[in-house]
Structure 1
């Protein structure tokens, strides 16, 4: 797992339960707006999320992964899942992204703080991101 992401996971896992949701929502603001010229066309929708959520992962020539997420501001928990990935995977290689454990959000202790349906959505975001990376990395 990339170092940045491992640090985020550790921080959440060690936090008192009553603080975890507040910490999570801080990541909702990490997601930048779509870059100019990019729209949802060419992005993959994640239907497991309760809100409209789209993503695209690109494996660059140097094998680092770039991510683009689109989620409305009215869905702060879902945006937070993406924010954690955006920050934690920044600069990560394709191999590091593929090594992220599928139960990432459970390891963070989020299953005790938010509904199983929301955790399922976050898990689906990670799964689709990893699938896109796997397909491009060969």
Structure 2
């Protein structure tokens, strides 16, 4: 699936640029790009090490993946900055790659920007041609959990 300018309008600039990168290469090269995002996924911060109760498991992923969303204090709830943290084993490069894409595309955005990301955003990277639908569903579930945590943490 290629990304048209209409598709880009609903994505934050950071995610739209990543989608463009994926759209500009062949399906085979998309897997390589996914592996690069896997390698670039930051380690879980030390404050979460040994505190599994603070992380949310994404059961839809074929490999164990846990995430936590932090929302900074600030002016209005939708202007607060979102930080994403993921834990996925190194032997799960596809799952780590999905998390890496979401981290690169969403970390540091405002809560309002994260909540405005279309639910179908994971399908806009052209990965359906490179990975199974079951695997792609894991990325959709990650985005769903991220948005749910942002909603919960900005509602108070």
Q: TM-score, normalised by structure 1?
A: 0.94
Aligned to 2:64: 52
For 1:40-96, what per-residue CA distance to the aligned partner results, in whole angstroms no more than 9, with x for missing partners?
A: 221100010111110011111130101110000010000011111111113200011
**1:52–1:72 Cα contact (<8 Å) kept:** yes
CA RMSD of aligned residues (A): 1.2
CA distance in 2, matches of 1:46, 1:26: 22
Residue segments in structure 2 that go unaligned for 5+ positions in a row: 1-10, 75-79
Task: Determine whether 1:125 maps to 2:135.
Answer: no
Segments of structure 1 that go 5 or more residues without pairing to the other structure are none
Under a length normalisation based on structure 2, what TM-score does the superposition of the two structures give?
Answer: 0.84
Higher helix share: 2
Correspondent of 1:26 among 33, 36, 58: 36
Once the two structures are TM-superposed, the CA of residue 10 in structure 1 deviates from its matched residue by 1.6
**Residue aligning to 1:43:** 55
Over 2 Å off, 4+ runs = none
Distance (whole Å) between structure 2 residues aligned to residue 103 and residue 52 of structure 1: 22
Matched, 1:14 2:24: yes
